Structure 1
């Protein structure tokens, strides 16, 4: 018996720009992102809020790509970084990624960085914070 994993429920019409229906109709499309159910999304957000190191964050980024196809980059802004808002969190455009999820993941990462500011310092160091010194 080959059972498919549960897929995410569709967003109410007109509220999201995820293009879920287009993704389902496209033959050979990457449907990994649709495996992120609301329950699994909550688990992911909790995990992102409780990161313990920069390596942990990088591992989560890698696993999000492998399991869901989400490409995410976390880096300091080109301008001065004075708070966690100065950390830029970008997604590669991906059909099927819900608008709310696209907002919730960066917010969870920022909460995790606020809880563990040394991770943000390591991130700044990894991107050559002291290049002008």
Structure 2
């Protein structure tokens, strides 16, 4: 936690608008406070970077870096029904103490915009979940 005190941390949300439990996180010396490094300016940079992704590998790398640096778990998978558009994907950010409600909505929205701009990434997500049946048709 001492290291987090040296770095700028996210300012608190207006009272009553968010349930991020930021104060509880700050008071717990054993808590994982990495998420507090995501200031509003850093969040804007992250969202811009997600939207600028040009390949599935790059999206996976950002997903991994978010987990390593901030503790954010991002899940992107096809929905249970037919996927005809990007709206058919389930894009979730796991709830995490200190993670603002607005940020939990902004990250999936940025991923959707990325997938809209680059359908080949959406196809790669489908393929990664073996929805094209590539493994079943070989042989």
Match in the other structure for 1:56: 58
For structure 2, which runs of at least 5 residues remain unmatched after alignment?
A: none
Match in the other structure for 2:23: 21
Match in the other structure for 1:80: 82
Aligned residues: 132
Ranked by relative contact order (alpha carbons within 8 Å, sequence separation 6 or more), the top structure is 1
Q: CA RMSD in A?
A: 1.5
> Do the aligned residues in 1 keep the contact of 2:93 with 2:108 (CA within 8 Å)?
no
- After superposition, what is the alpha-carbon deviation per residue over 1:72-123, rounded to whole angstroms, capped at 9, x for unaligned? 1111112111111111112222100001100000000000110111100111
Match in the other structure for 2:112: 110
Q: For 1:126 and 1:13, how far apart are their aligned partners in 2? A: 41
User: Larger % of helix: which?
Assistant: 2
TM-score by length of 1: 0.94
TM-score by length of 2: 0.90
- 1:120 partner SS: helix
After TM superposition, the runs of 4+ consecutive aligned structure 1 residues lying more than 3 A away are: none
For structure 1, which runs of at least 5 residues remain unmatched after alignment?
A: none
